Amino acid sequence: MFRLYGILLLLLVSTSITAQSRSGIYLAKPSLNAGAYHLIYKDTVRYYELSDTPLIAYFYVDTIIKSKDKETGKCKLLIKFSKVGQKMFGDITAGHLQQYLGFVVNNSLLAAPQIVEPILGGTVAVNSDFSEQQVYELLQEIKKLKQ
């Protein structure tokens, strides 16, 4: 966690969900329900119930940049919110401390990090176990959602 820059590092893993079509950032709650949205992390399946509506839509994302994490060498996405999105995301993270956010794109739960501090800088760094091709496809899907 880099408080100075307001960057939240997230671990992405390949996932799928089994409910209606969703995209956006949702409030996520750990669950024992095997029918809930799930993500696979280090060969362990974790289940999450998501809020009915997103807390923030990808419409409020200004730019998405793919890069490599200097420490791990894995793909990383930098998600920068627009001015309005920055305020919204800051308020969301400040108002939901110790809770989880579910990053969902086209029916896939990508990550469900716990909010440990408000993220006021408007930028989120998402570290990924995805291949370069998967990151490229993810970037394209989020860009389509912004249109």
The answer to whether position 1 is within a domain reads no
Question: For residue 76, what are the domain limits?
Answer: 9-146
Q: Rounded distance, CA 77 to CA 80, Å?
A: 10
**Residue written as tokens 């993500």?**
39
Whether residue 140 lies inside any domain: the answer is: yes
More confident site: 70 or 128: 70
Could you give the CA distance from residue 64 to residue 55 in angstroms, rounded to a whole number?
Answer: 19
Kindly report whether the global pTM for this prediction surpasses the value 0.85: no
Instruction: Write the pLDDT tens digit of every residue in 99-112.
Output: 999 888 878 888 88
The H or E element spanning position 9 is strand 9-12
Evaluate if residue 3 carries a pLDDT over 80.
no
- The counts of H helices and E strands in the chain are 2, 10
More confident residue, 73 or 90: 90
Domain-embedded: residue 26? yes
In a domain, 39, yes or no: yes
4: in domain: no
Most confident of 107-111, 126-130, 143-147: 107-111
Q: What percent of the chain has pLDDT over 70?
A: 78
- The pLDDT score that the predictor gives to residue 110 is 80
Is there a domain that residue 66 lies in? Answer: yes
> What number is the average pLDDT over the span 83-90?
96
- The answer to whether position 44 is within a domain reads yes
Mean pLDDT of the chain: 79
Q: Where is average pLDDT lowest: 6-15, 70-79, 103-112, 115-124?
A: 6-15
Q: Is the pLDDT of residue 63 over 90?
A: no
Domain of 38, CATH number, reads 3.30.1360.200
Strand, helix or coil for residue 104 = strand
Domain count, the chain: 1
Residue 121 lies in a domain: yes
